[in-house]
Amino acid sequence: MKTAELLLACLENEGVEYMFGVPGEENIDVMDALMDSRIEFIVTRHETGAAFMAGTYGRLTGKPAACLATLGPGATNLMTGVANANMDNSPLIAITGQAGLDRHHKISHQHYDLVSMYKPVTKWNTQVKSPDTIPEIVQKAVEQSTGEKPGAVHIDLPEDVAGMEAEGSPLPVRSAAKMKASEQNMNEALEIIHRSDHPLILAGNGVARAGAAKELLELVEKQHIPVVHTFMGKGALPRDHERNLLTAGLSGNDYITCGFREADLIITVGFDMAEYPPKNWNPDGRTPILHVDGKEAEVDAYYPAAVQVTGCIRRNLTTLAQSLSSRTRDIDWVKNVRTQALEELSSFQESEDFPVKPQKIIADLRNVLDEGDIVISDVGAHKMWMARMYHTSRPNTCLISNGLASMGVAVPGAVAAKMVRPDRTVVAVCGDGGFQMTGAELETAVRLNLLVIILLWRDNGYGLIEWHQKRHFERTSHISFGNPDFIELARAYGLQAYGINHPKDLKPALKEAVSLQKPVLIDCPVDYGENMKLTEKLGDILC
């Protein structure tokens, strides 16, 4: 067999089911080998979209998908999505075609040193120089991608090596050990919790990755500890739970900030440092941290990890819950925070202002969708509103990228999410800026007959940047742009499309979109005048 065929056989053996990408000249051996492979290849309209799809697949399943690009511009286009997955700790295997080995010593058409280029944006990467190394490379790539903390890996395959005859076979699949914290560390954790009068749990992305929501709930109910979520940790605790302090992450004061100031111990569970800088919630660095995660804590002056409980999050949470005696703690301040945050959202449900207020859009979306449905937020001003106000009851039902936080992630992400969860409604919440970056993947959704819903927040500009400019300079600079007729554009791709002309139109449009058997785009003008009002409100909140 050829090297390319052995590569696919090894990926199949490791459980890789999908490969997303764009065919090119230097990966034609891989493309041909895919014709006889069990791996399903999904042709995308851009390499960045392919990597976004693979990253979302990895985030939802815990298993890596592959994404494929040719050399040169194909590989550089792919890199943004690869970096996004790596910073979000989503498993992904990037494969790039490359110039033949006989061209690497000189300037050559489309040739760059991709191993060097990809090194900063992956956990591990390598170039295949010999066919015999393929089984080891693939197994290492999968294990590196899925090991704590998960992320992206990269395999660079020169075109001449891809076509060489190869001998060998896939290696036996190895299972990863589920490590448990040491007895000493566990005892220290139990002691620090026991001494604490006002502990607070900060639930991060790792709770969803570890499938540890049930174990977290057991600890919360045993010790009556309130929980606040990062953007990517949303849903770790059900939204109607009395100890759920909802979501933190906006700069400046917020209702949740009061919770951090009340705490004499912060228990971080599955927290990734890129999600929410500790300086924002432990500004003097004095509140001690109990770090519960798969790996040791990153060094940070505002993250004083007094005790670290590392290893399998599920096992360690279970041990903590079982070893601690039941304890009742004051809940009045928790009730106050929850009441204020929830009332802020509910107060806009009947708003008739047009363009539509962000709070109204979120209230209608939350009322229409079931708890198991999936919303993917793109990056922009709408992301901040979704993170703050779209409350969830299950992990991975509101996907927000908050590591690299690349614009354009939502539409490709919705494609992958619907592939993984065909029984659920999947909604991509996009600004018009992010949508235009990867909107061509609407064709991919239509071609695959994936019933995704695109909820477009249209303001004809880069709303989040405008928000920052007004905060810092009280004026704006070069943030406006023109737009196509999104209704006609969506219809040209084969989608059903609705334009919102009154706030009362939105909820019926969402309900109809959920019931339709085809992909849908909803074009909703949004009033981002609420951005600065929120900034003023956050500044007025006192703890």
- Other CB atoms within a 10 A radius of the CB of residue 447 amount to 15
Residues 380 and 526 both lie in one domain = yes
Instruction: Give the pLDDT score at 541.
Output: 45
- Whether 377 is covered by a domain: the verdict is yes
- Other CB atoms within a 10 A radius of the CB of residue 182 amount to 13
Instruction: Give the pLDDT score at 542.
Output: 44
3-state secondary structure (DSSP) of residue 124: strand
Instruction: pLDDT band for 176, please (50, 70, 90 cuts).
Output: confident
Please state the domain count of the chain: 3
Is residue 98 within 8 A of residue 73, CB to CB? The reply is no
Is residue 79 within 8 A of residue 117, CB to CB? The reply is yes
- Please give the residue that has the higher pLDDT: either 538 or 163: 163
Q: Produce one character per residue of 74-102: b if its CB has 16 or more CB atoms within 10 Å, e if not.
A: bbbbbbbbbbbbbbbbbbbbbbbbbbeee
Q: Token match 């106000």: residue?
A: 389
Residues 465 and 394 both lie in one domain = yes
Residues 148 and 221 both lie in one domain = no
Residues 212 and 244 both lie in one domain = yes
Q: Produce one character per residue of 388-406: b if its CB has 16 or more CB atoms within 10 Å, e if not.
A: bbbbbbbbbbbbbbbbbbb
Give the list of residues 6+ apart from residue 398 with CB closer than 8 angstroms, or none: 234, 235, 374, 375, 377, 386, 390, 392
Could you read off the pLDDT of 517-534 as tens digits, one per residue? 899 999 999 999 888 887
Is the pLDDT at 183 greater than 60, yes or no? yes
Could you read off the pLDDT of 140-153 as tens digits, one per residue? 999 999 999 999 99
Residues 198 and 282 both lie in one domain = yes
Could you read off the pLDDT of 236-284 as tens digits, one per residue? 999 999 999 999 876 656 677 777 888 999 999 999 988 989 998 999 9
Instruction: pLDDT band for 188, please (50, 70, 90 cuts).
Output: very high
Instruction: Give the pLDDT score at 106.
Output: 75
Q: Write the CATH number for 7.
A: 3.40.50.970
Is residue 267 within 8 A of residue 192, CB to CB? The reply is no
Residues 151 and 212 both lie in one domain = no
And the tokens for 194? 């026991």
Residues 525 and 388 both lie in one domain = yes
Residues 258 and 296 both lie in one domain = yes
**Dist. CA 217–CA 346, nearest whole Å:** 26
Does the N-terminal peptide bond of residue 238 adopt cis geometry, omega within 30 degrees of 0?
A: no
And the tokens for 386? 């979704």
Q: Token match 């890199």: residue?
A: 79
Residues 405 and 327 both lie in one domain = no
DSSP letters for 247-310 = E---SS--HHHHHHHH-SEEEEES--GGGS-HHHHSTTS-S-EEEEESSPPPP-TT--EEEEEE
Q: What is the 3-state secondary structure (H, E, C) of 379-411?
A: CCHHHHHHHHHCCCCCCCCEEECCCCCCCCCHH
Residues 387 and 242 both lie in one domain = no
CA distances, 348 to each of 86, 371, 529 (Å): 37, 21, 15
- Whether 504 is covered by a domain: the verdict is yes
- Whether 178 is covered by a domain: the verdict is no
Instruction: pLDDT band for 180, please (50, 70, 90 cuts).
Output: confident
Residues 298 and 386 both lie in one domain = no
* 525: β partners: 458
Instruction: Give the pLDDT score at 253.
Output: 62
Q: Produce one character per residue of 133-158: b if its CB has 16 or more CB atoms within 10 Å, e if not.
A: bbbebbbbbbebbbebbbbbbbbbbb
What does the mean pLDDT of the chain come to?
93
CA distances, 262 to each of 271, 273, 403, 501 (Å): 20, 21, 27, 44
Average confidence (pLDDT) over 459-477: 90
CA distance between the termini of the chain: 68
Is the pLDDT at 205 greater than 70, yes or no? yes
Instruction: pLDDT band for 536, please (50, 70, 90 cuts).
Output: confident
Range(s) of the domain holding residue 371: 347-540
Instruction: pLDDT band for 423, please (50, 70, 90 cuts).
Output: very high
